[in-house]
Amino acid sequence: MNIIRKRSWEMPERLATPEAAFLNRRAFLAGAAGAGAILSGVAMPRPAFAEGDPSAGLYPAARNDAYVIEREITPERLTSRYNNFYEFGSHKQIASAAQALKIRPWEVRIDGLCDNPQTIAIDDLLKKMKLEERLYRHRCVEAWSMAVPWTGFPLADLVSLAGPKAGAKYLRMETFLDPDVASGQRADWYPWPYVEGLTLAEATNELAFMVTGVYGKPLAKQYGAPLRLAVPWKYGFKSIKSIVRFSFTEERPQSFWEQIAASEYGFWANVNPQVPHPRWSQAREQLLATGEHVPTRLFNGYGEQVAGLYKGLEGENLYM
Ligand SMILES: Nc1nc2c(c(=O)[nH]1)N[C@H]1C(S)=C(S)[C@@H](COP(=O)(O)O)O[C@H]1N2
Ligand SMILES: [Mo]
């Protein structure tokens, strides 16, 4: 039997699972038992991406030098084995379980208040978009962070494909729902499927990025293949994985974590070191790469691009 030892870069349990702490004791114990069962099978190396992925020829894409960072890229061997993907378990070692996800065929539905509602196969969507690589920081609400070379296309390009109508104010995004494949979705105390949302101004900001690859290859399943979001100025839970549906709405969508604990995980969730989470400080973050603790920056260092989005919204709970 293989035993996963705690690595230096892992959080103490108390920091690593705050999102689970709201759970009642029975639910929490049920989740922990499931985690043990999955953990015992994790130690074999896994393919970095699905064998025979039809999009493999699109990678690597040219790097866009407008999006580089001062931090070193976090090694793939770390980011591919430390993932938040509650569909496959409420702990970080879900990479093995996530390989059960079928990512072809994969259809994406675009609906709601838009001129061109459609259902499009992921490979047809990829053909319409120009892929590029961007180096982004990623700051989890749990106070760990990484730096990743994502490949993908601007979310703004998907928004213009859809053609939002004048009344559309928000973009709602939804993850797949398949409890047969995703054991976490059999835990019915969570409001599945995972949902996230952005204002249209946020969704069309240059930084909002649809991710289809990482480390110069198609996205491995544990990162949220075949299509996930990266909004690097917000806490990581906003960057929804394995998206199957985009809806343009007039009403603000209620996201997954907001439904569970609105006072801890709000709609805006912009990174701010001066606004603590109700149960811990956000002043610093631990780098997944080295275990080092460094100061967290306002908007995760992306204020130049995004601060303007929040003018006139000062009354909102922007940093929670
Ligand atoms: N569908 C879905 N998307 C999700 C999550 C999740 O549990 N389910 N976790 C979020 C959180 S809390 C973080 S920090 C990032 C983690 O992305 P990574 O595993 O690629 O590091 O995914 C986000 N997107
Ligand atoms: Mo997170």
Per-residue pLDDT of the chain (320 residues; tens, 9 = 90+): 343 444 444 434 433 344 433 333 333 333 333 333 223 333 444 445 556 799 999 999 999 999 999 889 999 999 999 999 999 999 999 999 999 999 999 999 999 999 999 999 999 999 999 999 999 999 999 999 999 999 999 999 999 999 999 999 999 999 999 999 999 999 999 999 999 999 999 999 999 999 999 999 999 999 999 999 999 999 999 999 999 999 999 999 999 999 999 999 999 999 999 999 999 999 999 999 999 999 999 999 999 999 999 999 999 999 99
Digit-coded pLDDT (tens) for 244-274: 999 999 999 999 999 999 999 999 999 999 9
Digit-coded pLDDT (tens) for 71-126: 899 999 999 999 999 999 999 999 999 999 999 999 999 999 999 999 999 999 99
Ligand 1 site-directed mutation target among 17, 83, 84, 103, most atoms within 8 Å of CB: 84
Domains in the chain, start-ordered, CATH in brackets?
13-307 (3.90.420.10)
Q: How many CA atoms lie within 13 A of 150 on its CB side?
A: 28
Q: How many CA atoms lie within 13 A of 270 on its CB side?
A: 23
Residue list, ligand 1 pocket, CB within 6 Å: 79, 83-87, 140, 175, 194, 223-224, 236-237, 239-242
User: Distance, CA 166 to ligand 1 centroid (Å)?
Assistant: 31
Which ligand 1 atom lies nearest to the CA of residue 241? 3
